[in-house]
């Protein structure tokens, strides 16, 4: 497990390239910095300056090697590498509030942008005009879209929103693709159709993720719950209220296990049992440093009692790897079916790479199903 501190400021968002040698991240300002791995160092090789507002979402398409970024300046840019320079192309999103998140579709012919304008812009490239065009999904979204994830069939899109709901929409664009085959979430998928809407959890939906098969969707909500819904005749929702602070991001690492992380600064494992439709807590995925326990002098004890009204010798320093909230998780290799490594970035400006095998052997009773 490796931890690298990039900056002192929060990393707003990050994206990896196909072979995981380069990472594009936003250092909490209007730019995107691309770092390249060189042995054990990270060198900044590109700085992408085009946005007029903070960059809130980055996604790097692995096959076509294009980066899409979106920001609070209500714009999105698609960057293509020409020689040694990244050239931006503006995409008009027709939104009047900040864009919050962006993801490429699995086939990389479309991308979706969630924004504060209470709508999702699904953008595709129109060959005749050499121009990115966007279509809006508006109903029945009532508030900001915080997170998006595509289904493997390139048509369905899961969206988590500030109106306390996680929904699955159809983002079928007839200009770029064939009619999709029926899925567990339904068979008729015209553009903008709501295939699923969550019930049961309250709180803003911070993170949403489809499983590898696309039959399950998981979301993390601000009321400290994680929920999984399984598609079918009637979608089954299962949620788990946790005793921790709210989680901000969630991802499947196998079909039955999820890793989530958030304001508690360490990733957590959840296991979903589809036979009983039950979600359970799998374990805390942090490797704590064994701090030397020195005995407390009487003076220190009195000082603690005076200052903090407690006799605890717990230090004020967090024991986890990340020293501040973790805002994004990305899978490095293995895909969502058999993830072997995942990466977390957070508000402490650091990036940690976690190895699933090492974690499994380090924590006893940790079973990744």
Pairing verdict, β 156-161 and 120-126? unpaired
Residue number, 34 or 250, with CB nearest to other proteins: 250
Residue number, 327 or 330, with CB nearest to other proteins: 327
Q: Report the interface residues with other proteins, using CB under 8 A.
A: 142-143, 163-164, 202-203, 222-225, 241-246
CA distance 281 to 304: 34
**193: Cβ–Cβ under 8 A, 6 or more apart, which residues?**
169, 170, 186
Residue number, 23 or 227, with CB nearest to other proteins: 227
Residue number, 64 or 202, with CB nearest to other proteins: 202
CA distance 180 to 193: 13
Exposure b/e, 50-79, CB count within 10 A at least 16 = b? bbeebbbbbbbbeeeebbbbbbbbbbbbbb
C-alpha 66: how far from its chain's center? 19
The number of beta carbons lying within 10 Å of the beta carbon of residue 126 is 12
- Output the smallest distance, CB 203 to other proteins, in A: 4
Peptide bond into 82 cis (omega under 30): no
Angle at 221 (CA atoms; ends 219, 226), nearest 5 degrees: 55
Residue number, 156 or 285, with CB nearest to other proteins: 285
- Output the smallest distance, CB 114 to other proteins, in A: 18
- Output the smallest distance, CB 201 to other proteins, in A: 10
Residue number, 64 or 199, with CB nearest to other proteins: 199
The number of beta carbons lying within 10 Å of the beta carbon of residue 351 is 24
- Output the smallest distance, CB 20 to other proteins, in A: 34
């Amino acid at each position: 497990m490796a931890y690298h501190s990039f900056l002192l400021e929060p990393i707003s968002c990050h994206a990896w390239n196909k072979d995981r040698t380069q990472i594009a991240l936003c250092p909490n300002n209007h730019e995107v910095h691309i770092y390249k791995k060189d042995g054990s160092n990270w060198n900044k090789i590109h700085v992408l300056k085009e946005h007029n507002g903070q960059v809130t979402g980055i996604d790097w398409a692995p096959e076509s090697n294009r980066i899409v970024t979106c920001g609070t300046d209500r714009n999105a840019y698609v960057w293509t590498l020409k020689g040694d320079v990244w050239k931006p192309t503006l995409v008009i999103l027709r939104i009047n509030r900040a864009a919050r998140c962006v993801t490429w579709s699995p086939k990389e012919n479309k991308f979706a942008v969630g924004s504060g304008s209470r709508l999702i812009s699904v953008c595709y490239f129109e060959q005749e005009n050499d121009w990115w065009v966007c279509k809006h999904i508006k109903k029945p979204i009532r508030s900001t879209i915080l997170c998006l994830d595509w289904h493997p069939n390139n048509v369905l899109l899961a969206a988590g929103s500030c109106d306390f709901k996680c929904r699955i929409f159809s983002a079928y664009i007839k200009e770029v693709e064939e009619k999709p085959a029926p899925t567990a979430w339904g068979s008729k998928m015209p553009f903008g159709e709501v295939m699923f809407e969550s019930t049961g959890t309250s709180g803003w939906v911070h993170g949403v993720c489809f499983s590898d098969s696309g039959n399950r969707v998981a979301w993390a909500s601000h009321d400290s719950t994680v929920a999984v819904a399984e598609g079918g005749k009637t979608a089954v929702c299962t949620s788990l209220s946790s005793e921790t602070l709210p989680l901000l991001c969630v991802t499947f690492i196998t079909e039955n296990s999820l890793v989530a992380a958030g304001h508690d600064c360490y990733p957590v494992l959840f296991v979903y049992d589809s036979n009983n439709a039950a979600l359970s807590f799998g374990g805390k995925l942090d490797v704590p440093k064994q701090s030397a326990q020195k005995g407390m002098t009487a003076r220190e004890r009195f000082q603690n009692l005076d200052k903090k009204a407690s006799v605890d010798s717990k230090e004020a320093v967090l024991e986890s790897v990340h020293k501040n909230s973790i805002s994004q998780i990305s899978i490095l290799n293995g895909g969502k079916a058999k993830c072997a490594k995942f990466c977390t970035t957070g508000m402490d400006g650091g990036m940690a790479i976690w190895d699933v095998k090492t974690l499994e052997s380090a924590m006893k009773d940790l079973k990744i199903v």
